[in-house]
Structure 1
Amino acid sequence: MSERASGSAARRRPPLSHGPVPGTDEPLAVVLLAHADPAQVHRLIGALPGVPVFLHCDARTPPPVFHAMTTGLPARVTVVDRVRTALASWSLVQAELTGLRAAVRAVRARHVVVLSGACYPLVSVDDLVRELAVWQGRSWITNLPLPLDRWSTPRHPDGGLWRLNRRYLTRGDAVLHLRGVPLRWPWPRAIPAELQLRAGGHWKIYSGVHARLLLDLVDRRPDLLRFWRTTLIPEETFVPTMLASPALAGADALPPCDAGPWYIDWPGSPDGHHPPWLTTAHLDHLKAARWAPPLTPAAPPDPTGTRRLFARKFRSSDPAVLDRIDAELR
């Protein structure tokens, strides 16, 4: 079973550009998930010269914004089928899988980077390709075993297992909420025995091997997809768990890694869930992140002292920080 779109919410339309020549060997491809700020999206694409980009624009995005986002794109950009997404729901995973499948069908990339429209590279494309060369055949995906202390809450002090061991109520691959509280069945359920649960983030760098493996699992295991569709915030658990479970990934299973390739100002988040926009006030931190020693697959993970290749969040209304990044870091 190929992954399905979220009912009538997925709007199918042909690509707005020709995209790369099918079957081309590429060192890098990008799946770009965006919903707003066309100017920022265009700047991000321009900062990745020569890289095939597979752009997903949320089906909830108003038509004028979608038109602005997808007009004037270079031929290396393919606009993929649109999914209507909702926070903390399978629809976000579905959007990523849609872009990932388009990328795998179109090019043979050694690595596929999943970016948001608010991301930006801290290094040039040449430096990015050189940095990832040592990751040949390996993904750079933050993943840590669950339960994880920092995923506990006062109401659910179980290290994040509450996201998975209850069945959440959904409609169209979106979790239903009442007064901001996600709705779920009151009794616990069994987690599939094959899964070694991992915590991660939405933004990641797949190896070509792992990208194809994940899509193969999506096609072959509808039973596991039924489980994941009724979990909470699956974009932070589905991919790292599927690829870190030896029963599914075999010898290619991900080892734990707490050193991701993104700089995000989590300490500056007012609520611990929404990091702040980055400005020139963050420039010293961005410089330190860009010039830190590189991480290699064989090195012990250091979540604070290794190089970051990307950062988020940025917006077009404050371009000064991106101008400085282009001039001083890239």
Structure 2
Amino acid sequence: MAKIAYILLCHKDPDAIIAQAEQLTAAGDCMAIHFDVRASKAAYDRIRNALRDNPNVAFAAKRIKCGWGEWSLVQATLNAVQAAVDAFPRVTHFYMLSGDCMAIKTAEYIHWFLDENDKDFVESHDFFASNWIKTGMKEDRLIYRYFFNERTQSRRFYTAYNLQKRFGLTREIPADLQIMIGSQWWCLRRRTVEMILDFLQKRPDVVRFFSTTWIPDETFFQTLVRHLIPKEEIENRTPTFLMFSDYGMPVTFYNDHYDMLLGQDYLFARKISPEAHELKERLGQLYSSEGVDFQISDEGRNLYGFLTGRGRVGRRFGRRFWEAGNTLGSERELFLITCKKWHVAKRLVDQIVSETDIRCVEYLFNEEDTLLPDLGGIETTLAKRSRHRRAVVRMLFDHFQTDKLVLCVDPGNLDIIQDFCSDQAKTHVLEIECDYSDDYLIGHARRVGLAGETSPTETVTRLVPALRNSLAYESELIRGAGFDGYLRIRETSTHAQNEATVAKFLGVSDDKAQAVMRLDYLFAD
């Protein structure tokens, strides 16, 4: 059975560290602690005295000063790892943690998971080929030497960096290493850890290289694990759930994130707010529980993206313009039907096809498998259709040999509606306003990935007001755009009102509009 040595790097909050150590070792696991030497001696003594009688806790033999982006973080990790290797010969796994991490599964589940997955869990992507680094230095991290801390000694840091660039003082990357990059939160098997320590004894050149690399905690273990361990024995992901904001800052979890965290396919989460006392207490109780059945939905990132994407006062909308120089032709008419309930729009389209001679295409820019004619390959993927949308629609006009075409568009695609309404062609917009029950909105949340099929109902129910407001706001944006050819039919309107609107939208007779709208179940779910 798996037995874990947790490798804890910390620098503050002795009481929280003591509680974390006691909680994680109570289930039979172990912990090796490196407490930053910058912290007060009194704080360190408090931790040592509180855990002195715990045989499952060890301390790094040498404490060092740690700084962000420095080799010191890697060296502190190695010191704690060596302490764990020496003190706990029966340990099978080494799990990297910070003081902000907490388990989001039971100890029973974590042990079972590691037994079932005999792999090293470490995120490691090719340093040069991947886009893991979004902004800032990339190759320069490796080919120049860094001796100063960028945050506390920024003038010295950039002076040394610029001098090396000016005089071409680059260095070679060790020839046998493929540099990898990824999250510093990993879980490695004992054999892997022992191979790394042995490798470092034989290769001081590798230590010298990484010791003057910038932010080596994102490359050191990630590179060495890939160098020493077969690819099929590595799970390329961190076992710790963490997210970053648009600004590159770690997302902090609070009391109301409990259910969401338990549904993620991870073992720990980072970072838990120091003020989230209720969350910490509930997760602490969970860790020692037995027989808990976890329903993995893994919707955390989608849910976070949805909620934060709504912006400071509710929404954020970035307009995009593609193919600004193209036109459909001034002699053509485009009819856009926008409806969040796609099945309602499709029923209306079916009626238009059967009762008129206007050609119709369903959700062209939303559904991959929309039925389309062969347009030479430009129609094969959603990405291509969206990138060349005016060209695609122009080709549809040509293929059908018509000057009138109906398209379905999701209300969330206001940019598409705006794009076509700015064309020389005469564009008409018909919005279908539907009622949304709570059950429909819960189903919608699951369909779009904001919740999983196994997410607790009470968790998903809390999304309903936000979703309802989000759909209402999409409609508000469309109405507020002031499109010349804008019309709307409503589920709550009478047949006569909706028929008159459809007649005006399509430019057909009242009788023809009645035939189009004759379905009694048009709005049914």
**TM-score, normalised relative to structure 2:** 0.49
Partner of residue 281 from structure 1, selected from 253, 256, 263: 256
Distance 1:175 1:133, change over 3 A: farther
1:46 equivalent in alignment to 2:22: yes
Percent identity of paired positions between Structure 1 and Structure 2: 27
Q: Does 1:33 align with 2:13?
A: no
Whichever residue aligns with residue 224 of structure 1, its letter is: V
Indicate whether 1:139 and 2:116 are aligned: no
2:195 is the alignment partner of 1:213: yes
- Of structures 1 and 2, the larger Rg is shown by 2
Q: How big is the shift at 1:69?
A: 2.7
**What amino acid maps onto 1:66 in structure 2?**
Y
**How far is the alpha carbon of 1:79 from its aligned partner?**
1.9
Report the counterpart of residue 76 of structure 2 in structure 1. Answer: 95
**Partner Cα separation in structure 2 for residue 311 and residue 78 of structure 1:** 23
Q: Map 1:80-119; keep pairs closer than 5 Å.
A: 80=60, 81-108=62-89, 109-119=91-101
Question: What aligned pairs does 1:257-276 form with structure 2 within 5 A after superposition?
Answer: 257-266=235-244, 269=245, 271-272=247-248, 274-276=249-251
Cα deviations by residue, 1:300-319 (Å, 9 ceiling, x for unpaired): xxxxxxx1100111254431
Residue 292 (structure 1) aligns with: none
State the 1:31 CA deviation: 1.4
What RMSD over aligned residues (CA atoms) do the two structures have, in Å? 2.6
Cross-structure match for 2:155: 178
Aligned to 1:324: 282
1:229 correspondence with 2:193: no
Q: Does the Cα contact within 8 Å between 2:3 and 2:92 map onto a contact in 1?
A: yes
Q: Distance in 2 between matches of 1:254 and 1:139?
A: 10
Deviation at 1:327, TM superposition (A): 4.6
Question: Could you list the per-position Cα deviations for residues 109-135 of structure 1 after superposition, in whole angstroms to 9, with x for gaps in the alignment?
Answer: 211111111111112222211110123
Larger mean CA deviation between 252-261 and 27-36 belongs to 252-261
Aligned to 1:4: none
Aligned residue pair count: 275
- Distance (Å, rounded) in 1 between the aligned partners of 2:283 and 2:147: 43
Supply the AA of the counterpart residue of 2:155. Answer: L
Q: Offset of 1:105 from its aligned partner?
A: 1.6
Structure 2 CA distance for aligned equivalents of residues 321 and 44 of structure 1: 14
1:308 aligns with 266
**Closer, same or farther: CA 321–218 of 1 in aligned 2, 3 Å:** same
Q: Are the aligned partners of 2:147 and 2:157 in contact in 1 as well (CA < 8 Å)? A: no
Answering whether residue 56 of structure 2 is matched by residue 79 of structure 1, we say: no
Once the two structures are TM-superposed, the CA of residue 191 in structure 1 deviates from its matched residue by 1.2
- Secondary structure of the corresponding residue to residue 103 of structure 1: helix
Between Structure 1 and Structure 2, the one with more helix by share is: 2
Aligned residue type for 2:255? T
Structure with the greater relative contact order (CA < 8 A, sep ≥ 6): 1 or 2?
1
How far apart in 1 are the matches of 2:211 and 2:152? 9
CA contact (8 A) 1:128 1:309 kept: yes
Q: Secondary structure at 1:56's aligned position in 2?
A: strand
Q: Secondary structure at the match of 1:78?
A: strand
Q: Is 1:144–1:257's contact at 8 Å kept on the other side of the alignment?
A: no
Q: Following the alignment from structure 1 to structure 2, what is the Cα–Cα distance between the partners of residues 191 and 175?
A: 27
Q: 1:183 to 1:43 in 2, by over 3 A?
A: farther
Give CA-to-partner distance per residue, 1:58-104, whole Å, 9 cap, x none. 11111222223333112321122211111101000000000111111
Distance in 2, Cα, partners of 1:43 & 1:215: 30
3-state SS of the aligned residue for 1:39? helix
